[in-house]
Structure 1
Amino acid sequence: MSALARLRPTLISPTYTRLWFGQAVSSVGDAVFSTTLVLWVATVLAEGKSWGPQAVSGVVLATSAAVMFVGPLAGVFVDRWDKRATMLGTEVLRGLLVAALTAVSFVPAEDLPAGVWLGLVYATVLVLNAASQFFTPARFSVIAELVTDEADRARAAGLAQATGQTAWIIGPPLAAPLLFTVGLQWALLFNALSYLVSYLAIRGADLTPVVPAAPKPPAKAAERPGLFQDFTAGLRFFGRNRFLVALLLLTVIGQLGTGALSTLNVFFVTRNLHASAEVYGYLGMAMGIGGIAGALAAGRVVQWIGARRTTWIGLMASGALLVLYSRQTGFPAALTLLFVFIVPITMLNTAMAPLLLAATPQEFRGRVVAVFYPVTRLAAMLTAVLSGWLAGSGLRDFSGSAAGLRFGPIDTIFAVSGLLIVLAGVYARIALPAADTAPAPKTAGPAGDTAEPAEPAEPTLEGRP
C-alpha cells in the first residue's frame, strides 16, 4: 500500500484534503500575522511609550469585538447564502484587506501619527475577524454535508484542531525573524498569500454533498422571513433544544480550566513551582503538543467508544488531572501533567463536533455555530477575568490547610476549576443520550419554527466497533 493510500483515510477524502490544506496554510498565515502585529506595535510603534500595553490589548479587543458582535448575526446570512460562494468571498475580502495594509506598511512608521497606525491595525483586525465569522459557519456546514459518518466527523474536527495547534507552534517563531529581518511588509504579505492559497483550494474542491439535500419548492418572496425573524428563529431553536443547551453548558464549564490556566499559569510557575519565569514557555509548548496528540487521537477514540462516552470521560479525566496539577511543587512533574491534561480536553472538544452536527438540521447550522462559538469565547474571557480578580483581590491573602496539604490562592482556583469540570462530566453522563449519536434534529417549519418529533430517532451507530 502506498504512502498516499495510507494517508487518505486520515484525511477522509480528496475534497476534504483540499479544504484542510487551504485551512492549514491560512492558519499559519493568521498566526504569523497576529504575532507580527503584536510585536510591531509593542517594539516599533509604542517603543518606550507608557501606553504600549494598552495599544497591544487593543488588538485582542478588536478580535473579541468581531466575535461577540458580528458572530451571532453572521450565522443568519450564512444559512441564507451559498456556502461555497461565502467561503470564496470572505477569502477574497481578507486577502485584499491584508494586501492593502501591506501596501500602506511600506510608508515609514514615523511618517504617520501613532493613532493613525493603530486605527489601521485595529480596523484591519476587526474586519478580518468579522469576515471569519462568516467563513467558519460556512465551512462547518460544508464539512457537515461532505462528511456524514460520526467517526469521520470526529476525525475532521481532530484534524482541524491539530492544524490550529500546529499553526500556533509554527507561526510565532516565523513571525519574529520575518519582522526583524525582512520587515513588516513581507510578514503581512505572507498572510495575504495564504488567503490566496485557501481561495484556490476551495475553488478547486468538489463541494457536492455526499447525501444530497431533498429539493425544496421555491418560496414566494412574501413568504421569506425577515432577517430579525430568522435570527430569533435560530435562537428559539437553540434554546428549545435541550441537547444543544447541554453541549453549550458543558463547553462553557470546560472553559473554567483553560481560562484559569491562561491567566494564572505564569504565576503558578513562579510561586507554586518555584521556577523561573523563563521556563513558562515550555508549558505552552507542552499544551500545544498535547493538543495535537489529543486531536489526532480523537477520531480513533470516538470510533471505539462513541462521541458521548468520549465527552463525559474526557471531562472527568481532565478535571481530575487539573486538580492533581494544582498540587504540584516541581516543574518537571507539572510539565508532564499539563501535557496529559490537555489531551482529554482536546479529545472531548473534538468529540462534541459530531454531536453538534447530528443535533442540528442543515438550515440552522450557520446560526447554531454563530451562537455556540461567541458564547464559548465570552465564557473564556469571563473566566480569565474572574480568575485574575480572584487571585489578585478576592483570594489574594487566602491560605489554609487540610489533611496535611497547604492551599494558596492560585492552586485553590485550579483545584476548584478541576472539581467543577469533574461535576460537568457527571452531568454529561446523565444529560447526553444513551446512544452514541445525538437525538435527531427537529424539523424546520414555516418561518423557521420547529416541530417536536414524536419519538427520538433510533441510534444508527450504537455498538460501532
Structure 2
Amino acid sequence: MNALTRLRPTLISPTYTRLWFGQAVSSVGDAVFSTTLVLWVATVLAEGRSWGPQAVSGVVLATSAAVMFVGPLAGVFVDRWDKRATMLGTEVLRGVLVAALTAVSFVPVEDLPAGVWLALVYATVLALNAASQFFTPARFSVIAELVTDEADRARAAGLAQATGQTAWIIGPPLAAPLLFAVGLQWALLFNALSYLVSYLAIRGADLTPAAAPADSTAPAGPKPPAKAAKAAEAAERPGLFQDFAAGLRFFARSRFLVALLLLTVIGQLGTGALSTLNVFFATRNLHASAELYGYLGMAMGIGGIAGALAAGRVVQWIGARRTTWIGLMASGALLVLYSRQTGFPGGVALLFVFIVPITMLNTAMAPLLLAATPQEFRGRVVAVFYPVTRLAAMLTAVLSGWLAGSGLRDFAGSAAGLRFGPIDTVFAVSGLLIVLAGVYARFALPVADKSPAPEPAAPAEPAEPTLEGRP
C-alpha cells in the first residue's frame, strides 16, 4: 500500500489540483485567444494595409493599459472582497466578454468598417486583462492560505510557472489551424469554454483555509464580535493613497531600485517589438506562411521552460547580479542575430535560444528586487515596478508599430553586404540597446548583496498570459 501511494502522482492536494487544472485550461485558452487575434488582425483585417503593424500594436496597448491603470489598485480591493466570489465573478465576466465577441465574429468581415472591428477587439482585450488584475491576486491569496508548507509552496510556484510556459507551447500552434481551417469564431469559442472549465473547477474546490495552530499562550476569554473587529481594522487602516504615496517616495529615493527599473524598461524594447512585429517578420523576412506563425510562440514557450529550469542553478553558481547583466547582453546579441535571419528554421532556433537568458535574468532580478526592499514596502514597490514596465512595453509596442508602418515603411539600405528593411532594423536597434543595458548593469548593480535574505513567501503566481514578450 505504501509503495502504491509513493507511485501515485499528486499535485499537493485535491483542492490545489482542481485550481491547477482550471488555470491550465484557461491559460491554454488565453494563449490561443491572444495568438488568434494577432493573426486575424494582421492577415485578415489589415491584409495589404500599411497600418497593419499599428493595428497589432493596439492589441498590445490594450493589454498593457489594463495592467498599468487597473493593476496597482486592484489588489487593495481584492484584499477586502471574498476571494472565491472574486475568482468566480471574473471568470463569468471574461467568459461572457469572449462569448459576445464570438457572436459578433459571425458577421462577415466586410460588413463592418475596420475601425469598428478594431474597437471591438481592443475593448474586449482591455476588459479581459482588467478582470485578470482581480483574478490573479485573488487566486494568489487563496493558494497562500491553502498551501502552508514551505516545500509545497515551492512546488506550487514551480507548477504555476511551468503551466504558464506550457500553455504557450500548446496554444499558438493550435491557434493558426483553428483560425485558417475553421474560422475566427471557433478559435474564440475555445477560449470562452476554457473560462467555463475554470469556473467549474473553482466552484467545485473546497477553498477552506488551512487551520492555523492554536496559540496556547493567548489569554482565554470572549472574542470581540466579527463586525466590531472588522470595523476596528478598517479604522486603523491608512488611506489608500497615503500608503501608495509613501511607496512612491521610498522607490524614488532608492538609487538601486531606480537602476533596476531602468534595466527592466530597456529590456522591454526587445519583447515589445517582438509582440507587435514578429508576425510580419515571420511572413516577410523569414518567408514563412501565416499558418506556421504559432510555432514561433511554441519555440519561445519551450525556451522559457528551459530557462526557468536552469535559472536557479545559474543564479546559485554565478550570482543574481552576474546573471542579470550577462543575460541582458546575451539576449540583446541574440535579438540582433534573429533580425538577420531569412529562413524559418533559423528563426525558430534563435527565438528558442533568445528566451532562455530572458527567463534567467527575470528570475535573477526577483531576489535583487526583494533584497533591496524592506518587507513593509514590498507590495507597494511591486505596484510601481510592474505597471512602469508594462508602460514601457506599451510604448515600445506603439513605437515599433509606428516605425514599421509609417516612420520606416519605405526604409531600405545595406551595409557590409547586408540588406536592412524596416522590421529587421527595429529588431536590431532594440537588441543593441539591450546590450548597452547589460553594460550599464555591469557597473550599476552592487557587487555583493549585503541585505538580509528575504523570508520565504507564498508562490508567485504568473500573470495571466498576454501578448507581452510573445511573438
Asked if these proteins are the same fold (TM beyond 0.5), I'd say yes
CA RMSD between the two structures = 8.0
Deviation at 1:367, TM superposition (A): 4.1
Q: Distance in 2 between matches of 1:212 and 1:44?
A: 70
What is residue 125 of structure 1 aligned with on the other side? 125
Q: Secondary structure of the equivalent of 1:220?
A: helix
Say which is worse superposed, 91-100 or 254-263, in terms of deviation.
91-100
What is residue 107 of structure 2 aligned with on the other side? 107
Residues 159 and 296 in structure 1, CA contact (< 8 A), matched pair in contact too = no
Say which is worse superposed, 252-261 or 305-314, in terms of deviation.
305-314
Q: 1:407 to 1:195 in 2, by over 3 A?
A: closer
Deviation at 1:64, TM superposition (A): 4.0
Deviation at 1:54, TM superposition (A): 9.6
Residues 155 and 300 in structure 1, CA contact (< 8 A), matched pair in contact too = no
Residues 319 and 421 in structure 1, CA contact (< 8 A), matched pair in contact too = yes
Say which is worse superposed, 58-67 or 182-191, in terms of deviation.
182-191
What is residue 367 of structure 1 aligned with on the other side? 380
Q: 1:366 to 1:80 in 2, by over 3 A?
A: farther
Q: 1:153 to 1:462 in 2, by over 3 A?
A: farther
Q: Secondary structure of the equivalent of 2:345?
A: helix
Residues 155 and 299 in structure 1, CA contact (< 8 A), matched pair in contact too = no
Q: Distance in 1 between matches of 2:189 and 2:465?
A: 49
Deviation at 1:184, TM superposition (A): 8.1
Deviation at 1:429, TM superposition (A): 3.4
Q: Secondary structure of the equivalent of 1:401?
A: strand
Deviation at 1:359, TM superposition (A): 4.9
Q: Distance in 2 between matches of 1:390 and 1:64?
A: 19
What is residue 95 of structure 2 aligned with on the other side? 95
Residues 29 and 171 in structure 2, CA contact (< 8 A), matched pair in contact too = yes
Matches within 5 A, 1:396-411: 410-411=423-424
Q: Which whole-Å deviations, capped at 9, do the CAs of 1:75-106 have from their partners, x for residues lacking one?
A: 33345557666545534554566678789999
Q: Distance in 2 between matches of 1:454 and 1:40?
A: 33
Residues 359 and 439 in structure 1, CA contact (< 8 A), matched pair in contact too = no
Q: Which whole-Å deviations, capped at 9, do the CAs of 1:395-442 have from their partners, x for residues lacking one?
A: 567677767766665544433322321232233334444446866789
Q: Distance in 2 between matches of 1:115 and 1:463?
A: 26
Q: 1:265 to 1:49 in 2, by over 3 A?
A: closer
Q: Distance in 2 between matches of 1:435 and 1:214?
A: 50
Say which is worse superposed, 110-119 or 257-266, in terms of deviation.
110-119
Q: Distance in 1 between matches of 2:464 and 2:102?
A: 55
Deviation at 1:374, TM superposition (A): 2.7
Residues 78 and 134 in structure 2, CA contact (< 8 A), matched pair in contact too = yes
Q: Distance in 2 between matches of 1:65 and 1:353?
A: 23
Say which is worse superposed, 88-97 or 334-343, in terms of deviation.
88-97
Q: Which whole-Å deviations, capped at 9, do the CAs of 1:319-340 have from their partners, x for residues lacking one?
A: 2222333444555444422321
Say which is worse superposed, 455-464 or 395-404, in terms of deviation.
455-464
Deviation at 1:27, TM superposition (A): 0.8
What is residue 211 of structure 1 aligned with on the other side? 218
Q: Secondary structure of the equivalent of 1:262?
A: helix
Q: 1:266 to 1:438 in 2, by over 3 A?
A: farther
Say which is worse superposed, 231-240 or 141-150, in terms of deviation.
141-150
Residues 53 and 276 in structure 2, CA contact (< 8 A), matched pair in contact too = no
Residues 286 and 335 in structure 1, CA contact (< 8 A), matched pair in contact too = yes
Deviation at 1:249, TM superposition (A): 2.0
Q: Which whole-Å deviations, capped at 9, do the CAs of 1:216-251 have from their partners, x for residues lacking one?
A: 999565443223323323433433444443332222
Deviation at 1:260, TM superposition (A): 2.6
Say which is worse superposed, 245-254 or 198-207, in terms of deviation.
198-207
Where relative contact order (Cα < 8 A, 6+ residues apart) is larger, the structure is 2
Matches within 5 A, 1:26-425: 26-34=26-34, 62-78=62-78, 86-87=86-87, 89-91=89-91, 93-95=93-95, 125-139=125-139, 159-174=159-174, 191=191, 194-195=194-195, 197-198=197-198, 221-265=234-278, 268=281, 282-328=295-341, 331-357=344-370, 359=372, 366-391=379-404, 394=407, 410-425=423-438
Q: Secondary structure of the equivalent of 2:53?
A: helix
Q: 1:84 to 1:177 in 2, by over 3 A?
A: same
Instruction: Return 5+ residue gaps in structure 2 as ranges.
Output: 209-216, 226-231
Aligned-residue sequence identity (percent) comes to: 94
Say which is worse superposed, 415-424 or 179-188, in terms of deviation.
179-188
Say which is worse superposed, 62-71 or 213-222, in terms of deviation.
213-222
Q: Secondary structure of the equivalent of 2:293?
A: helix
Residues 73 and 231 in structure 1, CA contact (< 8 A), matched pair in contact too = no
Q: 1:185 to 1:69 in 2, by over 3 A?
A: same
Residues 304 and 464 in structure 1, CA contact (< 8 A), matched pair in contact too = no
Say which is worse superposed, 316-325 or 30-39, in terms of deviation.
30-39
Tell me the matched-pair count: 456
Residues 157 and 350 in structure 1, CA contact (< 8 A), matched pair in contact too = no
Deviation at 1:318, TM superposition (A): 1.0
Deviation at 1:129, TM superposition (A): 1.8
Q: 1:328 to 1:61 in 2, by over 3 A?
A: closer
Residues 103 and 185 in structure 2, CA contact (< 8 A), matched pair in contact too = yes
Q: Distance in 2 between matches of 1:356 and 1:268?
A: 34
Q: Distance in 2 between matches of 1:426 and 1:291?
A: 24
Deviation at 1:28, TM superposition (A): 1.5
Say which is worse superposed, 67-76 or 83-92, in terms of deviation.
83-92
Deviation at 1:14, TM superposition (A): 8.1
Residues 79 and 364 in structure 1, CA contact (< 8 A), matched pair in contact too = no
Residues 67 and 129 in structure 1, CA contact (< 8 A), matched pair in contact too = yes
Deviation at 1:132, TM superposition (A): 0.8
Deviation at 1:461, TM superposition (A): 34
Q: Distance in 2 between matches of 1:26 and 1:250?
A: 32
Deviation at 1:73, TM superposition (A): 2.3
Deviation at 1:344, TM superposition (A): 0.9
Instruction: Return 5+ residue gaps in structure 1 as ranges.
Output: 443-450
Residues 53 and 402 in structure 2, CA contact (< 8 A), matched pair in contact too = no
